[in-house]
Structure 1
Amino acid sequence: MEQQITLIATSAMGLEALVAKEVRDLGYEAEVDNGKVTYSGDLKAICRSNLWLRTADRIKIKVGEFKAETFDELFEKTKALNWGDYIPELAEFPVTGKSVKSKLFSVPDCQSIVKKAVVEKLKKHYKKQTDWYTEEGPVYKIEVALLKDVCTLTIDASGAGLHKRGFRVAQGEAPLKETLAAALVKLTNWTPDKPFVDPFCGSGTIPMEAALLGQNIAPGFNRQFVSEDWEWIGKSLWNEARMEAEDLAKYDQPLDIKGFDIDHRMVEIASNNAEEAGLGDIISYKQMQVRDFTAKSQYGVIVGNPPYGERLGEKKEVEQMYREMGQAFAGLDTWSVYILTSHPDFEKLYGKQATKKRKLFNGFLKTDYYQYWGKRPPKNS
């Protein structure tokens, strides 16, 4: 195995720049494209990326990229790659695929051809006969992705998506992905010395991501990854990466993080999730309507993902809640407020034009992230 490999951190649309900054903060040079960030690193980069990237969807190893307009081309060019460097003799390697604006548009056929090509290469690599291959070992999920006749072949190094932090006990009807919640926090001006409030906390995802960020806890620290079973990475590199994460965590950093929700059941779920994550002493949850919110501290940050009014019969109720929110927050001129919603008239209902708006996708739903920047504290003389 070569010590330098090419990695791809996949990203939700609109979050690529955030993912790239996280990659650069880990010490790697990043190249940004739609839905992905590409970079090079050593084997330990696989471990560190999985553990630390808060806003990426998953980490993939790029095995090869080439133009393919015919099935013969796809087969021969796939077979020419060094699959034996990555996939051991008894490994399980399912093949998934996707094709966009390409001559090879049949995804099942592309998957089948890639599978056959990899098997042929591995038979030659391990000097085996025709009827040899049994898939009983660790999993190496291959993806064949075709875009405008360019084929990219990758191996998934994450397993479950990176949004699965490993500690959510329960959730509500429309839970926010942890990766998007982390992005919402990172797009604010919040620092750990200021109060942080989520007035629509649901199952508590946003406050928990704020707590992880505030104490510099690696978001993947409490879960396992498929590449931990890969012998050519080795347990020692994973142990080193986890020790680094442990050393960099700031468990003594005091935080003032609160979550409110109108539904007492969600408050209970959020509290249980925080306890499971080891954050129960850091975050406080309470049942409360947004119209009743008051702030004791002079400076702070509010981040909310309220109901959007998408469902039939909810629209008027949600719009009234947006008006009440605007009234409750009107006097908080030293607080910064950040609200994610798909409602096109949010600013009108809230009663104030945002300082800045950013388009983001909550799943497949187009939303805007409305940012209201509060006055800054005076500089110490």
Structure 2
Amino acid sequence: MTDDAYVSSLNSPSELTPVEEHRAKVAALLRRTPVETRPLADCLGLALAEDLVAPIPLPSFDNSAMDGYAVRSADLAAASAEEPVKLPVVEDVPAGRVDVPPLRPGTAHRIMTGAQLTPGADAVLPVERTDGGTDEVALFASVQPGQHVRRAGEDLTAGTTVLTAGTRLGAAQLGVAAAVGAAELPVHRPVRVLVLSTGSELVEPGEPLERGQIYESNGLMLDAAVREAGGDPTLLRFVPDDVDAFHAALAEHIGSADLLLTSGGVSAGAYEVVKDALRGNGVEFSKVAMQPGMPQGCGRYRDAFAVVTLPGNPVSSMVSFEVFVRPAMLAAAGHRETGRKVRQAALAESLSAPAGKRQFRRGVFDPATGEVSLQGAPGSHLLGSLARANCLLSIPEDVTELAAKSTVDVMLLD
């Protein structure tokens, strides 16, 4: 078979790898990262490795929900704006005071929000319903038992599972962990990703650009995508199109990386350094039934780390990361939720798609109307339209035409 015939056969639907099959191969390559115990401040964005059980109730004591006066509700039964009840104020109870004496009948304690409820008191009257007195207070309303009181265990009881394993630790999750007394948490270490962008035509942004050269963007883009997915990237830029230089660049990171992520050098043409260097070293290359992003590769480099090779066109590279790499990274890092949110939307305009390939089109989804409009043409080099998009439309392999108002699945990117 000639080279042209070989390339043609790989582009026919019958010779293409289904998207789900390649996604499963990539997911199987990444091993679960080890568990580390980290201070709360270092856990943001990571996945909890074990259930967190509350050792104390939350709140841990009855406390005031308002600035006001701790009282016995029976003492205020007849209070009104016209005929206030007047009581002596015998104690101040600020938040944090631990030696609070009991409330005697016929008296009041001035109390602040969050302060423990005075023993003997059963309600709090807000300061706005009083004259604010410090020695004697006029109380202009009655209260019901328990009014403006936060009860111990109202939020969580001791022994409650606060957070389950696999939970992504955001601000609220770290807040509740701190509230029940956790100073540190067991989490899965982030996936360590070596991001490598090849090409002798690449120039660092900001430097003079000669005809035939392009500014390097894929490396920075994928580095940022890895960080957004909670990974720990190391960016290797400007590795020349040379097999020996490629292997030398990788040798320094054997034992420290979980995943090698490359962009470019995997097509069917000449000077494809990634394919030349990795073929025969545990990595297999194929054509996946998708647009953009057909040329793909994955495997394990000399059994040292997982490898996923992405196509070099920037949109192909980024779409491939979203479809294959991001969910695999999140799963390896212990996250329970690994996929982007998917919504159904109505097409604002008609579109056409290639037969036998899953097409991913850039779009803008409007949650107010439930409509999605296409953002730019399908071309894999049109990075500007990806930057303006907030979703990817997923067009099934067996669909070649969709009319306006048709329903499509959209993968939300933010």
- Bin of the TM-score, shorter chain as denominator length: under 0.3
Q: Give the number of the structure whose residues are more often helix, by fraction.
A: 1
TM-score, scaled relative to structure 2: 0.22
Q: Give the number of the structure whose residues are more often strand, by fraction.
A: 2
Higher RCO, 1 or 2 (CA under 8 Å, sep at least 6)? 2
Q: Give the number of the structure whose alpha-carbon radius of gyration is greater.
A: 2
